[in-house]
Structure 1
């Protein structure tokens, strides 16, 4: 257990950063806006680990986010289901996704390694399908 004097004061705002990633990157259909958000939120050479593979670079992450939105349709979006938490450069945010007035299609968690206030590596972990 740590005392109050051991607390690191340089911790990023995990909730703000991971929510911004969800809304400004993975919910953004406009490529230019999405790429501007990625440049702000991610390091210069980030890595994304998703179930389908490993993606490196800001442009590749934008491509993945854009393809997901195209695949699932115009009213599909991701929404946080809690507050992101983290410490010592590692944070996570639970989310769910689906059509605006429809059922949840997929849920999971984003786990991010953060250095100097930027996402350096992001793992997308999907929950097991509900039967």
Structure 2
């Protein structure tokens, strides 16, 4: 796994890879291969409404999300991720195209041995 000069994981690289290669990946085989690379053997993902355990379950959630919102829906990072001491955060936006934002939020992750062990999906309140 990529690390920074300090021995810390490369938070930006790994959290962007999670966004692009997992949550934007429509091909289930490629998505699961990315999860195997990015996540520990038995990861946990905390969504606002449930807790998801394991790589296959995370892949299923990502696939269902993409299917639910249509073929052009995608997640885009807002800025580089930040992190230290095994914890990183990436702010993102998502929508059907680059000009329409349907939701914004952050992924916060705990890293173990350079891979994501626990991932919290935090959704911003709706604007208005």
Q: How many residues align?
A: 124
- The structure 1 segments of at least 4 consecutive aligned residues displaced by more than 4 Å after TM superposition are none
1:25-72 deviation per Cα after TM superposition (whole angstroms, max 9, x unaligned): 000000000000000000000000001200000000000000100010
Specify the structure having the higher radius of gyration (Cα).
1
CA RMSD of aligned residues (A): 1.1
Look up the match of 1:49.
46
Aligned residue among 87, 93, 96 for 1:96: 93
Q: 1:23 aligns with which of 14, 17, 20?
A: 20
The runs of 5 or more residues in structure 2 that have no matched partner are none
Structure 1 segments unaligned to the other structure (5+ residues)? 1-7
Residue number in structure 1 paired with 2:58: 61
- The SS at the match of 1:40 is helix
- 1:93, 1:101 → 2: CA distance? 18
TM-score (norm 1): 0.92
